[in-house]
């Protein structure tokens, strides 16, 4: 399997023979179909949601599937993932990040297909499900089961990734309206991390970070005292990122 061509010389040393025809070398490699799969999270009714479509494979009839597509011939995988999002949701500038690659040879019933999982976060309000994609729906992450392929595993890994990521990076704001109340923000964290947090300490924490811009506006659709609306100051954040040098495990 190893691909270096080597020869012993008289000093018992080796010299690799240099390969001059890189194209020929690459042509000798096995080739594998590649897909990208997008784990698209949203937040609605105080629940973390995931956008799924019915599998279009007979063998997975009635099972849910991540939004994916194969990667084009010379397409960078990030581009493929953005393309999937654009084609399915019409959204352009969404948060997207590669999570990991899944390669089990039996993961696809049609033969070996390698897939690269991407995690995307989008604000459900900004998003119009395209009518064409009738079976495209938001599902509660907590309750979804019966997924096609290894998509349950991919979703779980992306969910764990998100839980960790949201603690260390301001991703969560991609799931909220541009202007949000602290209660909404806390609900988001509680839903994603699946824990309860102390309201006073939560507020103290975010105010201390000092990345929330007070818009002066208030909620207007609530049947009780409305909360103040804030925006996240991405600009200030990007100039302030600090590095943690602790050790903790």
120 Cβ contact partners less than 8 Å away, ≥ 6 residues apart: 38, 39, 40, 41, 81, 85, 94, 95, 96, 97
Q: State how far the Cα of 95 lies from the Cα of 162, in Å rounded to an integer.
A: 12
Query: Which residues lie closer than 8 Å to 85 by C-beta, 6 or more apart?
Result: 38, 40, 67, 91, 94, 96, 120, 122
158-217 residues near DNA, rule: CB under 7 A:
181-183, 198-201, 203-205
Residues of this chain, 106-145, that bind its own copies according to CB under 8 A: 108-114, 116, 131-135
Binding residue for its own copies (CB under 8 A) from 142, 160, 169, 204?
A: 169
Confirm if 53 and 135 have CB atoms less than 8 A apart.
yes
If one asks whether residue 3 binds DNA (CB under 7 A), the answer comes out as no
Residue 49 binding: pick among its own copies, DNA, none (C-beta 5-8 Å cut-off by kind)? none
Residue 216 interacts with which of its own copies, DNA, none, CB < 5 to 8 Å by class: none
**Residues 201-220 close enough to bind its own copies by CB under 8 A:** 205-206, 209
Cβ 241 to DNA shortest distance, Å: 15
Contact range with its own copies by CB under 8 A, out of 24-32, 40-48, 121-129, 222-230? 24-32
**With CB under 8 A, what is the number of residues at the site for its own copies?**
86
Q: Are 177 and 123 in contact (CB under 8 A)?
A: yes
């Amino acid at each position: 399997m190893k691909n270096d061509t080597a020869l012993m010389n008289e000093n018992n040393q080796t010299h690799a023979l240099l390969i001059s025809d890189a194209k020929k070398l690459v042509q000798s490699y096995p080739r594998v179909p590649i897909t990208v799969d997008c784990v698209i999270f949203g937040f609605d009714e105080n629940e973390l949601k995931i956008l799924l479509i019915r599998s279009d494979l007979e063998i997975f009839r009635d099972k849910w599937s991540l939004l994916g597509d194969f990667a084009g011939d010379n397409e960078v995988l990030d581009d493929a993932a953005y393309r999937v999002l654009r084609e399915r949701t019409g959204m352009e500038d969404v948060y997207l990040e590669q999570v990991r690659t899944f390669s089990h040879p039996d993961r696809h019933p049609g033969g070996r297909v390698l897939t690269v999982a991407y995690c995307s976060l989008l604000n459900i309000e900004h998003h119009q499900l395209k009518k064409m994609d009738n079976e495209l729906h938001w599902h509660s992450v907590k309750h979804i089961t019966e997924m096609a392929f290894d998509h349950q595993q991919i979703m779980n890994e992306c969910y764990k990734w998100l839980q960790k990521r949201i603690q260390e990076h301001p991703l969560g704001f991609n799931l909220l309206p541009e202007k949000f109340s602290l209660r909404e923000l806390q609900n988001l964290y509680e839903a994603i991390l699946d824990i309860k947090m102390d309201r006073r300490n939560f507020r103290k924490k975010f105010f201390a970070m000092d990345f929330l811009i007070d818009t002066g506006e208030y909620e207007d659709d609530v049947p009780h005292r409305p909360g103040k609306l804030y925006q996240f100051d991405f600009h200030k954040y990007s100039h302030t990122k600090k590095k943690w040098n602790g050790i903790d495990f």
